[in-house]
């Protein structure tokens, strides 16, 4: 039985925004504790270079295993592509697989607090048989295959020495 009294009014129905994420059968997995499914780890950061490691969780909701190519695209603040990290992998039917890659990142624009709060954005592209199946923009947290945006944490990263 519903409460009959209180210091607020009881009504039924939706009273907050609802977001629906619609994906293809092979897509970036956003079900890892509300993360974007795209993880970027910078290491050995200096003004001359940094090492970037990307882990992209790829989900295969089809009934057969799929070979995938994942591109992690690093975008500068002005919107131009800085680098593209590519990895391949196989994802079993009904499973999630982390596809990882790492590469040197020359001359990174380093974060400098309020003086120069520079942030790179990383998005992931998932291809099956050369066809783009999913593109996940972590800065706006939208999947290209989504009809309405999802609410996920961003994967924008600042590089600090």
The pLDDT tens digits for 24-77 are 899 999 888 878 888 989 889 888 999 999 999 999 999 999 999 999 999 888
Distances (CA, A) of 124 to 7, 39, 112, 129, 151: 47, 10, 26, 16, 17
CB 125 within 8 A of CB 18: no
At 6 the pLDDT is 64
Our measurement of the distance from residue 53's CA atom to the centroid of its chain's CA atoms, rounded to an integer in Å, reads 13
pLDDT of residue 61: 94
Q: How many CB atoms lie within 10 A of CB 83?
A: 17
What is the bridge-based pairing of β-strands 26-28 and 66-75? unpaired
Average pLDDT, the chain: 79
138-160 pLDDT, tens digit each: 554 433 332 222 222 234 444 55
Angle at 67 between CA 65 and CA 71, to 5 degrees: 140
- What gap in Å lies between CA 126 and CA 139, rounded to an integer? 17
Question: 94-121: per-residue pLDDT in tens?
Answer: 999 999 999 998 999 988 888 988 888 8
Query: What's domain 26-143's architecture?
Result: Sandwich (2.60)
Confidence of residue 8 (pLDDT cuts 50, 70, 90): low
- Predicted pLDDT at 145: 30
CA distance 52 to 81: 15
- Separation in Å, CA 79 to CA 59, 97, 121, 122, 125: 28, 29, 9, 11, 16
Q: What is the pLDDT of residue 117?
A: 87
Question: What is the Cα 121 distance to its own chain's centre?
Answer: 10
| pLDDT higher than threshold 70 for residue 137 | no
């Amino acid at each position: 039985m519903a409460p009959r009294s209180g210091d607020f009014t009881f009504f039924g129905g939706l009273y907050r925004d609802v977001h629906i994420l619609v994906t293809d059968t092979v897509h970036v997995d956003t079900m890892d504790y509300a993360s974007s499914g795209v993880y970027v780890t910078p290491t050995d950061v200096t003004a001359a270079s940094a090492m970037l490691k990307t882990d992209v969780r790829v989900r295969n909701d089809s009934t057969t295993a799929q070979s995938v190519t994942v591109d992690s695209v690093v975008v500068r603040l002005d919107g131009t592509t800085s680098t593209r990290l590519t990895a391949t992998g196989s994802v079993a039917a009904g499973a999630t697989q982390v596809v990882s890659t790492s590469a040197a990142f020359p001359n990174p624009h380093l974060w400098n607090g309020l003086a120069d709060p520079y942030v790179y954005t990383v998005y992931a592209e998932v291809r099956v048989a050369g066809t783009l199946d999913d593109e996940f923009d972590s800065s706006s947290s939208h999947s290209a295959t989504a009809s309405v945006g999802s609410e996920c944490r961003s994967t924008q990263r600042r590089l600090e020495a």
